[in-house]
Structure 1
């Protein structure tokens, strides 16, 4: 037991490195997901993920695909560290008899991990979404067909709740620090945690599905119960479990994205909370709106968690702290 406790710092290092590597690889797809989820019916700027990425590069340059990446890379280290280490921590304490975990206990451990990570996830996503969606709002205002819809709602009414919507050089220069400072000054710490309920609603079920599914799929790749699965099996298990869990909770992710978007485009409604958001989306866009960005989300989460699990199980943290794993060298 003491040995397991001693390895907690190493697990935090592994989770942090895993998050950095994974996010760097898949961030452009995550940006496309956010922009597609925020599109309303009749106001489409992008047809699909590829169209979104192509138009982003044309209008904002290559680095436009990485808008909001800085805040994500800064906070994903503690976020992934907490998520992966918390799951291991809960699994360890739920398996005190050493007989292995039932699926129920695995789900319980995943639930605990999901609840812990939102401490970092909520403000991280809050800031990231504002930066990612800025290009969509600018493109929407440039599109004549969409601009005509502003007749229905006065401009000052639509933009009154926005932080910065205009596609001017000033809007493009807004940083995560400026948005965070604005929220803290106007709303206090509560401003950074807008959408906390929706984030919990997404991340807790995700972890409940993901961690037990990954653990059980990973068992099939083990040569024996005592030996770890090879790194490629960790990757495949992480991809399969991640994409399954991502699609399963995509409706919650759509709701979370809408609630956390401070800036609104022409004729885009605001929401009072989770129930109001779900009701308005259902009434105005139909059930299919809850699947917006599902393909992108699966493409983001699959490699993200595949890479994360490989990095996590390679044991870089243990290697750095002189506790020796670095399993890849002995594979």
Structure 2
């Protein structure tokens, strides 16, 4: 919504963002699987490309193998994304000028960071399950978790590690969630409002609130989010995928010593190829769901 628009901001259901994110995850889950497997590779192991990971998985286990861990991904979207998007939309509505004008960029970033932290806390158990289920096949057989689905995995996690096990990597995950929501969701609103207000230089093209605007703004937001979150994402993956108790600082120091600073962007390409389309699909679905809900509510 443009910063100068003076129409009342509608109140959408809290769960709408979670549904949109779940719909997007159904399309992009194979890329998430490849990203996690690339980030889990240590310094001495060969570094297969994203396409080689997916090709080998399909050739060895069939096409369904690239959707390993989908149940955990959907659980994650209906906890992490539901809370971060729902909280952000609610805070944005409450901070608006009597519900008539979108908040300033600073307020949007603040709302996005707070909502991201809440989402990171809510989605932490599902994140653990997602990392373990998608990286299980690259582990030695004796170190595999062998979760059948997210529900049985959650039960096994609590049985083996106790309730405290649900908080494994929570600090890193919450930090990543704050960075992700600020750089993805917050920047989406920023790019969207900026493009609405200003014509594109050189070509003098003026955007309107349409499908094309949503795609362009979400692509820019996905690129921003991938780059900002990559270091925290790699550290989070290694902590959650491990059965040990290394702290984020220990993982960071060891990885820097063994692999150098480049490790912080390991898996950036599949992360971008996953987050770019995921961001586009999520926001396009979200915008359409919001429009559909508005039509339903006013009918």
Counting matched residue pairs gives 283
Q: Secondary structure at the match of 2:64?
A: helix
Counterpart in 1 of 2:118? 116
- Choose which of 151, 162, 186 in structure 2 pairs with 1:177: 151
Aligned residues of 2:32 and 2:274 also touching (Cα < 8 A): yes
CA deviations on 1:72-112 (whole Å, 9 max, x unpaired) are 12341343222222111112222245564332211101111
1-side partners of 2:183 and 2:77: how far apart? 21
1-side partners of 2:134 and 2:41: how far apart? 13
CA spacing shift, 1:205–1:182, aligned 2, 3 Å? same
CA deviations on 1:131-164 (whole Å, 9 max, x unpaired) are 11111125xx7xxxxxxxxxxxxxxxxxxxxxx5
1-side partners of 2:81 and 2:156: how far apart? 27
Residue 309 (structure 1) aligned with residue 283 (structure 2) = yes
2-side partners of 1:38 and 1:200: how far apart? 19
1-side partners of 2:9 and 2:167: how far apart? 33
Counterpart in 2 of 1:236? 216
Aligned CA RMSD, in angstroms, stands at 2.6
Structure 1 unaligned spans of 5+: 142-163, 264-269, 326-331
1-side partners of 2:23 and 2:289: how far apart? 14
2-side partners of 1:50 and 1:128: how far apart? 20
Residue correspondence of structure 1 range 189-200 to structure 2 within 5 A: 189-200=163-174
CA spacing shift, 1:228–1:109, aligned 2, 3 Å? farther
Counterpart in 1 of 2:67? 66
- Choose which of 152, 155, 165 in structure 1 pairs with 2:143: 165
Structure 2 unaligned spans of 5+: 1-7, 199-206
Please tell me whether Structure 1 or Structure 2 has the larger radius of gyration of its CA atoms. Answer: 1
2-side partners of 1:189 and 1:4: how far apart? 40
Greater Cα shift, 50-59 or 250-259: 50-59
Counterpart in 2 of 1:208? 182
Q: Secondary structure at the match of 1:229?
A: coil
CA deviations on 1:289-321 (whole Å, 9 max, x unpaired) are 111111111111111111111111113585398
Counterpart in 2 of 1:280? 254
Deviation at residue 275 of structure 1 after TM alignment: 0.7
Counterpart in 2 of 1:249? 229
CA spacing shift, 1:122–1:291, aligned 2, 3 Å? same
- Choose which of 258, 262, 268 in structure 1 pairs with 2:238: 258
- Choose which of 121, 129, 133 in structure 1 pairs with 2:135: 133
Q: Secondary structure at the match of 2:43?
A: coil
Aligned residues of 2:92 and 2:102 also touching (Cα < 8 A): no
TM-score by length of 2: 0.85
Deviation at residue 281 of structure 1 after TM alignment: 0.6
Deviation at residue 16 of structure 1 after TM alignment: 2.5
Residue 12 (structure 1) aligned with residue 53 (structure 2) = no
